[in-house]
Amino acid sequence: MIRILLADDEHLIRGAMAALLSLEEDLEVVAHAATGAEALAMARSFRPDVAVIDLQMPDLDGVSVAQTLALELPSCSTMIVTSHGRPGHLKRALAAGVRGFLPKTVSSDVLATVVRTVHKGGRYVDPALAAEAISAGDSPLTPREADVLELALEGAPVDEIARRASLSPGTVRNYLSSAVGKTGTSNRHEAARWARAKGWI
């Protein structure tokens, strides 16, 4: 019997996935969590065999949870399930020791299969996502450029970005300009949207 921890902030989805997994003879959902912190707490007390974690959650994101889990509970294999599969996320997830990475668009029996695969020590990454990640390559952005772009994402004016990043406005404009150049976009907002689509910020 494979013991599973389910973490997803959407209660309905979590319940539905639990129902789905429970239909399988050899799978058992032993713990639920609605946030990253809760997932960690649950994992510590229930010590599941496999953790199925949603990428986007209110507090910690799935990758951070996976990272901690890999250190604290090496016996537990982690897999990520997400609605928005971006190349950058996949890379970060694999670097964090995640064994499975699935978009929520996969058919429902794949989930059970992958749970078994990662439990046996295998890995599984959605082929479409893997292809995307490979073709997307690495982020061309320097860390600072990424920081600044992230702040620009909310539409803040340069001065505010400068304050929040503790930089001078001129420097911020330089970073934005260089990010715009690297992304081949025509203004910072497009650049920011582009970077988010790739999962780089």
For Cα atoms 183, 188, 194, give the angle at the middle one, nearest 5 degrees: 45
Distance CA 141, CA 112 (A): 37
Cα torsion through 130, 136, 139, 140, rounded to 10 = 160
User: 139-158: which residues touch DNA (CB under 7 A)?
Assistant: 142-145, 157-158
- Contacting DNA (CB under 7 A), which of 35, 64, 113, 171? 171
Q: Is 187 in the site for DNA (CB under 7 A)?
A: yes
C-beta of 22 vs 142, nearer to DNA = 142
> And the tokens for 93?
């997830």
Choose the contact partner of 177 out of its own copies, DNA, none; CB within 5 to 8 A by kind: DNA
End-to-end Cα spacing for the chain:
39
State the residues that interact with its own copies by CB under 8 A: 9-20, 23, 81, 83, 102-111, 154-157, 186-190, 192-193
C-beta of 108 vs 177, nearer to DNA = 177
C-beta of 8 vs 49, nearer to its own copies = 8
| Shortest reach from residue 104's CB to its own copies, in Å | 4
Distance CA 102, CA 125 (A): 6
Q: Is 104 in the site for DNA (CB under 7 A)?
A: no
Q: Any residues with CB less than 8 A from the CB of 31 and at least 6 apart, and which?
A: 4, 5, 6, 42, 43, 45, 46, 48
Residues 53, 165: contact at Cβ < 8 Å?
no
| Shortest reach from residue 71's CB to its own copies, in Å | 28
- Contacting DNA (CB under 7 A), which of 116, 164, 173, 193? 173
Choose the contact partner of 181 out of its own copies, DNA, none; CB within 5 to 8 A by kind: DNA
**Distances, alpha carbon 161 to alpha carbons 51, 154, 175, in Å:** 37, 10, 11
- Interface with DNA by CB under 7 A: which residues? 142-145, 157-159, 166-171, 173-174, 176-177, 180-181, 186-189
